[in-house]
Amino acid sequence: MSSRLFSRFGLRGVVITMRGLSNHHQSCCVNSLLQTFSATWELTDILDRWDSSGLTADISNVPLQLKKVLSALRSNAPHSAAHIDFLRCLDRHSIRLCVQHDADEVLLSILNLMQQQINDRALALEIQDLYKISVQTHVQCLECTSNQTQTSYMLSLPLHINEDHNSLESCMTSFFEHQELRGRNCCYCKQCESKTPTKQGVKLLSLPRILRVHLKRFRNRSGSTRKVDSKVTFPETFDFSELHKEAFSSDFTQDDCKYTLYTVVVHSGTASCGHYTAFVRHKDNKGWYYADDSHVEKASWEEVKKTYGGGYRPTAYMLMYRRGSEVGGPQPEYSG
Q: Is residue 139 one of the residues assigned to a domain?
A: no
Instruction: For residues 127 and 170, state if they share a domain.
Output: no
Angle at 212 between CA 211 and CA 213, to 5 degrees: 115
CATH of residue 224: 3.90.70.10
pLDDT in tens, the chain (336 residues): 334 555 443 434 444 578 999 999 999 999 999 999 999 999 999 999 999 998 988 999 999 999 999 999 998 777 899 999 999 999 999 999 999 999 999 999 999 999 999 999 999 999 999 999 999 999 999 999 899 899 999 999 999 999 888 999 999 999 999 999 999 989 889 899 999 999 999 999 999 999 999 999 999 887 889 999 999 999 999 999 999 998 999 999 999 999 999 999 999 999 989 999 999 999 888 999 999 999 999 999 999 999 999 888 899 999 999 999 665 544 333 222
Strand 224-227 relative to strand 218-221, pairing? antiparallel
Instruction: For residues 122 and 218, state if they share a domain.
Output: no
Which 3 state secondary structure label does DSSP give 208? coil
Q: Is residue 138 one of the residues assigned to a domain?
A: no
Q: Is residue 191 one of the residues assigned to a domain?
A: no
Q: Is residue 224 one of the residues assigned to a domain?
A: yes
Angle at 151 between CA 146 and CA 152, to 5 degrees: 135
Instruction: For residues 160 and 280, state if they share a domain.
Output: yes
Q: Is residue 335 one of the residues assigned to a domain?
A: no
Instruction: For residues 99 and 170, state if they share a domain.
Output: no
Instruction: For residues 239 and 283, state if they share a domain.
Output: yes
Range of the domain at 34: 24-131
Please tell me the total count of domains within the chain: 2
Q: Is residue 193 one of the residues assigned to a domain?
A: no
Instruction: For residues 120 and 165, state if they share a domain.
Output: no
Instruction: For residues 273 and 219, state if they share a domain.
Output: yes
Instruction: For residues 261 and 228, state if they share a domain.
Output: yes
Q: What is the reported pTM?
A: 0.90
